[in-house]
Structure 1
Amino acid sequence: MSRTINDAPLTTREARRRLEIGVHWRSVDADIHVGYRKSKRGGVWLVRWRNGQGYRQATIGTADDAITTGTLDYRSAVKAALFHVMAARTEAKAAADGPPLTVRSAIESYIETRDARERRRTGRNIRSDASRRLEKFVLGRPARGKRAAADASALAEIPLHKVTEDDLRSWRSSLPSHFKPAGIQRLVSDLKAALNSCAERHFSRLPGGLLSTIKRGLRMAGHEHDDDDEVAVARENQILSDEQVTSLIAAALEIDQEQGWDGDLYRLLLVMAATGARFSQVARLRVMDVQTGARRIMMPPSRKGRGGKASLISVPVGRDVLDALAPVLLGREKSAHLFERWRYKQQPGTIRWEKSSRGPWQTPSEIVRPWGEIRVKAGLPDVIPYALRHSSIVRGIRANLPTRLVAAIHDTSIAMIERHYARYIADGLDTLAARAVIPLAA
């Protein structure tokens, strides 16, 4: 084929009408040409592009010689031609780079990383929550015991270089309608993290716009206001008064004594309430992190988000909290975990369990059962442990602390504080503004 072509007049129906029957070409760029194959009853659009030493060719649609549904004018044909060539080149590159990367392979690699991280944190051979969620709603899983089987989603087998925004939106819309917004967001965040991780790790093998496709395809389009409203109501129901928090901690002490926790459960929940920290942060505290003289706890940052974080976060606490912690501070190695609990072992040949050894708290599930009894005893049957964090944040806002300080103490962002606790910020600002009001009328 010649290196140069004479561009045929293809841009209008009238110009194409004058052409002879046959194939006519027009350059789009140096390597891509749009063609028009004219026959006695109209014509079709073609595209050809350079492929190594030769060219490849494909049909892309029907010309609008007679305007009907689905026909393409010249501009639409050029657009379709460029899209087809880009897809073909992406497919060829993916094939040349080896076995294609799929949504399934991206998720499996992500799950392996998350599970390994959980094993390092806990010292046990356990699986992450992300692996359970992604298997149930994307990868599929067989039935096991009382656990029902889950079918794989169609999304799982799509090659990453072919994933579109519509594929991701279709998967999201297929999720069960009874899902709470927070549950949907956790699942979507897991999938987004898995795909983004693979896209960044194999950026040379995948389309440059894949990260944008993932972001737009998994965006909560059309649901932002509904979801935010539901989350706001949930948070409102979980913001406790000081008296309610006190009653929960008192109930925790009673349950601790009744069930033989030796103060481990009480001290853990007391510090969660006093600092507003997450369970994962409190569980990682060391003896050296409690600074009795300065009346503060140096809280480790969460593992949420990316980028570097401050090594420790200074959180002031009261003398009552420090007195409660005294038994686990005296005579212990400074590098030891501050909070530990008893592990139990079943006696051989019996149904009895006995205390075996002590070790650090590992997962939030360890407080689920006692928390159910604590909230009933406190007369708050619907409250969740995270309410201690919500209440601590609102307590700081109501004390008119700067939003930046409240965010720093609770290891979160100002944007998150303003998004979820805006009404309390407004109340605090109104209180401050009211102090500047003076009588002016005669």
Structure 2
Amino acid sequence: MAKTLKEAPITTANARSKLGEGEYARRLDAEAAVWYRKGKRGGVWFARWRNKGHGANYKQAPIGPANDVNDKPAEGLFTFLQAERLARHIVEQARQEAKAAADGPPLTVRLAIEAYIADRDARESRRKGREVRSDAGQRLSRYVTGQDKRGKQQAVPAAPLADVTLHTLKESDLLTWLAGLPGAVKATTKQRLVNDLKAALNATYAANRDRLDATLPAIIKHGLKKPGNGHHDGDDVASVARDNQILTDAQVGLLISVAQEIDAEQGWDGDLYRLVVVLAATGARFSQIARMRVGDVQRSQGRLLVPVSRKGKGGKSGSTPVPVGKDVLDALLPSTTGRKNDEPLLERWRHKQVTGEIGKWEKTDRGAWHSPSELQRTWDAMRERAGMPDVIPYALRHSSIVRGIRANLPIRLVAALHDTSVAMIERHYGRFIADGLDELAARAVVPLVPQDSGARVVPLRN
């Protein structure tokens, strides 16, 4: 096409008026052109191209009638510049679709999510030693790919976003999906959902860069901005929730005492009590506490080694040393005495129903805690007895962070002890940082203005 195409003066209405009936072209690239066909009643624009590497046949698509009166935009008519822009868009989209078809089945948002869910489910199953379904899979199925009727749960239809192909994905597709999420979805749930979808799309792009456009990561980034950055006030809601969960030392002590009481009443053999003690003393996440080993208790150094979180990118390993008091170390003595260093520090009994007796259960074996859901029913009883109906287990983490801030520890140290970032501390606990700085600044204030003692000041002569 590049060697035989003869270009014609079709860029202005005046130039086109001097042409006879027929077809005339202006090249877009070596394999594509915008064409002008002039007839007795006027002219029309169309695009003609050949997909590189996908056959020698030319394809064409209509654009619309030409504005042969002047070179100004008019409703229903197209100037040369408008026709050229539309022709480029038509050709680019057609070539992308041809390339995607040649490379195999088109990659869709649904396929990206299914691959991501399979990976997450496998990872969680390896960690827990049994087949489990990840939280990410539940969220993405409910709000993107849809799910069948399961027990009392009604079937949920898939969102339109699920069937969008990745080579045609636009920011508007993602923004429309975000805007369509139910208003009842909690801000924290919405943020986790966005993070999961972003991870799924980015993982598919990383594995198929030769098939997808290089602009896709930017589309994902800007289409899935963090909730609160122009989409809704999710961050503000999350911050208020944290403020409502800051407990005093007395309240933390009350929760520990209540845990000890319920532990004895329900036959936990100290397992519940020790779990709550470690959560309160370290401020760590449940997933970190559950992975602690007997050897992580370093009594001589007065500290616990808390495994780093698995949040974020890359394979993180190691532990964070967290100083604790003798009372905490004493509470953990039954879990460390006579046990091997590589055994789980915190365990709990497993139960099975007694055959033939409804409502009666018996202890079978012991094992590590798996999920925060194992604590939920007992936690409800704890907060009811403690008179704190709204408190959640994560409040122990919030309170530990604020306790460090109020003790005027460096923010970097508070972040390190709780395996998070300085930016996250400043973002969610900024008010407590400001209060602490005010107290420090107040201590530096000294009297500067002389005080009148009531006596007359007599100047001395030289």
Per the normalisation by structure 1, the TM-score is 0.95
**Paired AA for residue 86 in structure 1:** E
How far, CA to CA, are the matches of 1:43 and 1:398 in structure 2?
Answer: 77
Larger Rg belongs to: 2
Classify 1:241/1:75 alpha carbon distance in 2 versus 1 (closer, same or farther; 3 Å): farther
Q: Which residue in the other structure is 1:48 paired with?
A: 48
Q: Which residue in the other structure is 2:237 paired with?
A: 230
Secondary structure of the residue that 1:297 maps to in structure 2? strand
How far, CA to CA, are the matches of 1:237 and 1:309 in structure 2?
Answer: 31
Secondary structure of the residue that 1:420 maps to in structure 2? helix
Q: How does 1:154-303 map to 2 (within 5 A)?
A: 154-219=160-225, 220=227, 223=230, 226-303=233-310
Q: Which residue in the other structure is 2:453 paired with?
A: none
Matched, 1:433 2:441: yes
Deviations 1:173-214 (A, max 9, x none): 221122121121122222222121111111111222112212
Q: How does 1:4-403 map to 2 (within 5 A)?
A: 4-51=4-51, 52=53, 53-65=56-68, 67-69=73-75, 71-219=77-225, 220=227, 223=230, 226-309=233-316, 311-351=318-358, 352-403=360-411
1:435 Cα deviation from its structure 2 partner: 2.3
Contact 2:228–2:236, Cα closer than 8 Å, also in 1: no
Q: Using the TM superposition, name which of 6-15 and 272-281 deviates more.
A: 6-15
1:70 Cα deviation from its structure 2 partner: 5.2
Classify 1:393/1:40 alpha carbon distance in 2 versus 1 (closer, same or farther; 3 Å): farther
Classify 1:64/1:244 alpha carbon distance in 2 versus 1 (closer, same or farther; 3 Å): farther
Per the normalisation by structure 2, the TM-score is 0.91
1:57 Cα deviation from its structure 2 partner: 2.4
How far, CA to CA, are the matches of 1:70 and 1:418 in structure 2?
Answer: 55
How far, CA to CA, are the matches of 1:112 and 1:308 in structure 2?
Answer: 18
Contact 2:293–2:341, Cα closer than 8 Å, also in 1: yes
How far, CA to CA, are the matches of 1:61 and 1:259 in structure 2?
Answer: 78
Q: Relative contact order (alpha carbons < 8 A, sep ≥ 6): 1 or 2 greater? A: 1
**Paired AA for residue 395 in structure 2:** A
Identity %: 58
1:261 Cα deviation from its structure 2 partner: 0.7
Contact 2:146–2:159, Cα closer than 8 Å, also in 1: yes
How far, CA to CA, are the matches of 1:213 and 1:84 in structure 2?
Answer: 20
How far, CA to CA, are the matches of 1:169 and 1:76 in structure 2?
Answer: 27
1:243 Cα deviation from its structure 2 partner: 1.4
**Paired AA for residue 398 in structure 1:** R
**Paired AA for residue 187 in structure 1:** L
1:224 Cα deviation from its structure 2 partner: 5.2
Q: Using the TM superposition, name which of 313-322 and 81-90 deviates more.
A: 81-90
Question: How many residue pairs were aligned?
Answer: 442
Classify 1:75/1:2 alpha carbon distance in 2 versus 1 (closer, same or farther; 3 Å): closer
Q: Using the TM superposition, name which of 26-35 and 358-367 deviates more.
A: 26-35
Structure 1, gaps ≥5 residues long: none
How far, CA to CA, are the matches of 1:135 and 1:170 in structure 2?
Answer: 18
**Paired AA for residue 424 in structure 1:** F
1:310 Cα deviation from its structure 2 partner: 5.2
1:114 Cα deviation from its structure 2 partner: 1.0
Classify 1:377/1:221 alpha carbon distance in 2 versus 1 (closer, same or farther; 3 Å): closer
Structure 2, gaps ≥5 residues long: 451-462
Classify 1:16/1:435 alpha carbon distance in 2 versus 1 (closer, same or farther; 3 Å): farther
1:40 Cα deviation from its structure 2 partner: 4.0
How far, CA to CA, are the matches of 1:208 and 1:288 in structure 2?
Answer: 48
